[in-house]
Amino acid sequence: MCGICGTVQYGNVQADAQLIERMIGAVRHRGPDDCGIYTDGQIGLGHARLSIIDIAGGHQPMPDEQRTSWITFNGEIFNYLELREELTKKGHQFGSHSDTEVILHLYQEERERCVERLNGQWAFAIWDGPQQRLFLSRDRLGVRPLYYTRTHDMFLFASEMKALFVCPEIRRELDLHTLDQVFTFWTALPPRTPFKNVYQLPPGHSMTVQNGQLRVWRYWHLDYEPDSEIGQGSEEEISEKLLALLKDATRIRLRADVPVGAYLSGGLDSTFVTALAKKLVGQKLKTFSVNFEDPQFDEANYQREAASFLETEHYSVRCSNRDIARAFPEVIWHAEQPILRTAPAPLFILSKLVRDNGFKVVLTGEGADETMGGYDIFKETKIRRFWQRQPRSSTRPLLLHRLYPYMESLQRQSSAYLSNFFRIEEGAPGPFFSHQPRWQLTAKAKLFFSAAAKSDLDGYNAIEELRGLLPDRYYSYEAFLQAQLLETFYLLPGYILSSQGDRVAMAHAVEGRFPFLDYRVVEFAAKLPIRMKMKVLQEKYLLKRCAQGLIPGSVQTRPKQPYRAPDALCFLEPEAREYVDELLSADCLCRYGVFDPGLVAKLFEKVRSGRPISVRDNMALVGVVSTQLLMHQFVHATQQ
Amino acid sequence: MNFQQEVRQFVIDNFLFGREGQLSNADSFLESGIIDSTGVLELISFIEEHFGLKLSENDLTPDNLDSVDKVAGLVARRLATRQGAT
């Protein structure tokens, strides 16, 4: 895994090698093993390398045989051996054993359509010298990041926005619309980023830059087809097909010239991936986990059981509120976006544990919840839809008690209140039926926006913007599938794989690999009947069946517990005092202008009082602190 | 300060963070979005601790808790019952 950057000058202006050096320097943490730049005429490319495949021969930026086209690549192409063999048969000659070179040769054959043949996780740019065109692409599900911006005479791209900001011409200004989106969906809607005039290439998209013109297009579509032929077979047959796919997805994700470890959270998904990997590796696998001092978040018992059952060499790190408080500013520096939960911080601490043990690559279970129907929101949607069919039923809303068993505050609610919070409306469900209660709850944290920010937003409606981004077919899906699409295409790339994934892992130069996000698995899952994903109220039904016998029974049957971490209370720890006191001071809040100082003071006072605090208040405080950090680290830094 | 004022002050401090706005004592907390899905537990804690009352599961309905007036009414009824019993 690596960091990439580059510029294309318009007109006859030469690329600025020093600028490329400064840009790649800003993302050097992503690739501490090697570094290279290439400039020629209008093009400049930079690369910071984390050496994983072909340690000796994979230096980048890498040219083709004619040295007219050059690539800078962040990621892994897991099917590169098969592609290389195919290309060799067609007469291509390779000078290295890297997957990078395979992309270049495939590009020679298939041009922009080459990405349709790739199975992997990538963000890359190819300078096509003869065409004087830059081709950029990002993997189907957005595992790897790619940002871009432009000035009057230059196009710039990079793995992280901080590399763009080293160019003095790029203004750093918070995009309040994006903030509104984060305070609704937990994530920005691509192509927006937290900064005005800085964009992300959406997952599953490619783009070209030629003669100063940008062209962006989607190269991958996912259709949910719950009535497809795949679902016509017996459960056993379907389960076997899924297992075969998962085995192969794991097999090709073990391709590396360095040892591969695994995250082991104690849940079904990571335990299953570890079990599959262990069978393939055939030797003791090293596994890593984070656990918590606070027992309501801790899964150490399940982690120990899984490690013992799978006979892995297990390492864990214990995370306290103080650890989260200490790490939080650095987490925001890497995440480059406001967050409403502290959950990325323990994963930042975990990636350090991995790196300290000499590992660069880990397999993880991310993606199973989205693709195989694991999240509670799917269960919530199913219960609410069931209730909606008889809205006056007094017994159907009782099922709401089956939701969120790990959230004591919700479990203590009376039925009358639960019904009210998850309330349904008569008639056909609207297009955002599944997520409406959650988004409404999150959006309440916008109460703390300043009057000036609210005025600038001028009635902006983030949900309307989302409506304009969704494909037409979304509106014909059942609510369950709509929920899956929203989770898979927005929260997954924008938060789970970014703030909780790439950014906190790459902070310590650790690469995550995700068998459940192999596009073959994702496309297969999209064709499964809904009952295979959730049978009655049993989540990930088919996946559990697949995993039977391969993982401990206790892990297989345990109640679903999503990964969570302590939130607002972390900011009361001494390790947070210095930055929180400053960032939440009336002076600082006024200077940055995003939040109302009076309201924030009352919120912080409430958290400090020790009184119970709601989900809204928890999210609001984390959101305020993280946004203030972002302002301090990025926006305000230019104003000094 | 009577029950109604005490409840109102708590709601303003705790849920509106000091911004009284247009809050009327009859406004539904749920309809107006003043109390979120877990905020009602804060309200219950306040009633139990501030007024020394113990609420039962049957008390925890919007009919009893969904506005300043309704909460004040619940508190008054419970305190009257307790005084009557002693």
Interface test with B, best of A184, A423, A600, A617 (most B CBs within 10 A): A617
- DSSP three-state, residue A164: helix
Query: Per-residue pLDDT tens for A105-162?
Result: 999 999 999 999 999 999 999 999 999 999 999 999 999 999 999 999 999 999 999 9
CA angle A533, A347, A313 (to 5 degrees): 85
Chain B closest CA to A475's CA: distance in Å?
A: 28
Does B33 reach chain A within 8 Å, measured CB to CB? yes
Q: Which residue has the higher pLDDT, A228 or B20?
A: A228
Task: Examine the pLDDT at A640 and tell me if it is beyond 50.
Answer: no
Instruction: Read off the tokens for B71.
Output: 């909460």
Most distant pair of Cα atoms in chain B: their distance: 40
Q: What is the pLDDT of residues A72-108, one digit of tens each?
A: 999 999 999 999 999 999 999 999 999 999 999 999 9
| Distance between B44 CA and the closest CA of chain A, angstroms | 10
Q: Do B38 and A444 make contact, defined as CB atoms within 8 angstroms? A: no
User: Best residue in A398, A436, A599, A602 to probe B by mutation, most B CBs within 10 Å?
Assistant: A602
pLDDT at A486 over 70: yes
Average pLDDT across chain A, whole number: 94
- Give the C-alpha separation, A49 to A31, whole Å: 4
The CA distance from A161 to A637, in Å, is 14
Contact A261, A288 (CB under 8 A): yes
Which of A295, A315, A306 shows the shortest CA–CA distance to A358? A315
- Average pLDDT of the residues in A322-333: 97
What band does B64 get if pLDDT is binned at 50, 70 and 90? very high
Facing residues of A128 across strands?
Answer: A69, A133
Q: Is the Cβ of B83 closer than 8 Å to some Cβ of chain A?
A: no
* Catalytic annotation, pick one of A2, A114, A319, A546: A2
3-class secondary-structure state, position A154 = strand
Q: A-chain residues within 8 Å CB-CB of B11?
A: none
Picking from A513, A516, A502, the residue whose alpha carbon sits closest to that of residue A145 is: A502
pLDDT, position B19? 86
- A583, two tokens: 């960032």
pLDDT of amino acid A418: 76
Q: Using a CB–CB cutoff of 8 Å, tell me whether B39 touches chain A.
A: yes
Q: Rounded distance, CA A351 to CA A314, Å?
A: 14
Strand order from edge to edge, sheet including A43-49: A34-40, A43-49, A2-9, A154-158, A147-150, A199-200
**Contacts A410 to B, Cβ<8 Å:** 37-38
Residue-wise DSSP of A503-542: HHHHTTT-EEE-GGG-HHHHHHHHTS-HHHHEETTEETHH
Cβ atoms of A47 and A36 closer than 8 Å? yes
Asked whether the beta carbons of A183 and A168 are under 8 A apart, the reply is no
Q: For position A77, what pLDDT does the model report? A: 98
| Two structure tokens written together for A342 | 């502290």
Q: Which residues in chain A touch residue B18, judged by CB atoms under 8 angstroms apart?
A: 598-599, 602
- Residues A312-325 as b or e (16 or more Cβ within 10 Å = b): bebbbbebbbebbb
Give per-residue pLDDT as tens, A588-635. Answer: 999 999 999 999 999 999 999 988 788 889 999 999 999 999 999 999
A189 token code pair: 């809607």
pLDDT value at position B37?
A: 65
**Interface contact A413-B37, CB threshold 8 A:** yes
Measured in angstroms, the CA of A374 and the nearest CA of chain B are apart by: 22
Q: Are the C-beta atoms of A485 and A312 separated by less than 8 Å?
A: no
Q: Provide ipTM, 2 decimals.
A: 0.84
SS3 A44: strand
Q: To 5 degrees, how large is the angle CA A295–CA A506–CA A142?
A: 95
User: With an 8 Å Cβ cutoff, are A441 and B39 in contact?
Assistant: no
* Range A554-580 average pLDDT: 88
Chain A: give the shortest CA distance to residue B21, in Å: 12
Mean pLDDT, range A312-329, rounded to an integer: 96
What is the Cα–Cα distance from A231 to A524, expressed in whole angstroms?
10
Place of tokens 């219960």: A383
Q: What's the pLDDT at B1?
A: 65
Rounded mean pLDDT of A481-497?
98
Q: In this structure, are residues A139 and A79 in contact, taking their beta carbons and an 8 Å threshold? A: no
Q: Are the C-beta atoms of residues A195 and A161 closer than 8 Å to each other?
A: yes
CA distances from A505 to A29, A171, A353 (A): 10, 27, 10
Model pLDDT for residues A427-437, shown as the tens digit of each residue: 778 899 999 98
The label of the residue with tokens 């959650």 reads: A438
Nearest CA in chain B to A611: B42
Whole-number Å distance between alpha carbons of A178 and A194: 5
Q: Is-catalytic flag, A35? A: no
- The C-alpha atoms of residue A509 and residue A230 are separated, in whole angstroms, by 39
Q: Which of A272, A34, A7 is nearest to A150 (CA)?
A: A7
- Cβ–Cβ gap B40/A413 under 8 Å: yes
Give a three-class secondary structure readout of A320-374: CHHHHHHHHHHHHHHHCCCCCCCCHHHHHHHHHHHHHCCCCEEECCCCHHHHHCC
C-alpha span between A410 and A465 (Å, rounded): 31
Chain A interface test: which of B11, B28, B36, B74 (most A C-beta within 10 Å): B36
pTM for this one? 0.94
Chain A nearest C-alpha distance from B31 (Å): 10
Domains and CATH numbers, chain B: 3-85 (1.10.1200.10)
The residue of chain B nearest to residue A416, with distances taken between CA atoms, is B61
The pLDDT score that the predictor gives to residue A639 is 45
Residues of A within 8 A of B36 (CB-CB) are: 421, 441, 444, 614-616
A417 touches B: beta carbon within 8 Å: yes
- Does the distance separating the beta carbons of B37 and A410 come in below 8 Å? yes
Count CB-CB contacts under 10 A for residue A339.
27
**Chain A residues 580-609 with CB within 8 Å of chain B:** 598-599, 602-603, 606
A199: β partners: A148
Beta bridge partners of A208: A135, A215
Alpha-carbon torsion (A158, A162, A166, A169), positive or negative: positive
The more confidently predicted of residues A621 and B58 is A621
Q: What is the pLDDT of residues B18-43, one digit of tens each?
A: 888 789 999 999 888 888 767 888 89
> What local confidence, expressed as pLDDT, does residue A11 receive?
86
- CA A564/CA A540 separation, integer angstroms: 19
CA A323 centroid distance within chain: 22
- pLDDT band of residue A414 (cuts 50, 70, 90) is confident
Query: Are A421 and B37 within 8 A, CB to CB?
Result: yes
Whether the CB of A413 is below 8 Å from some CB of chain B: the reply is yes
State how far the Cα of A399 lies from the Cα of A419, in Å rounded to an integer: 10
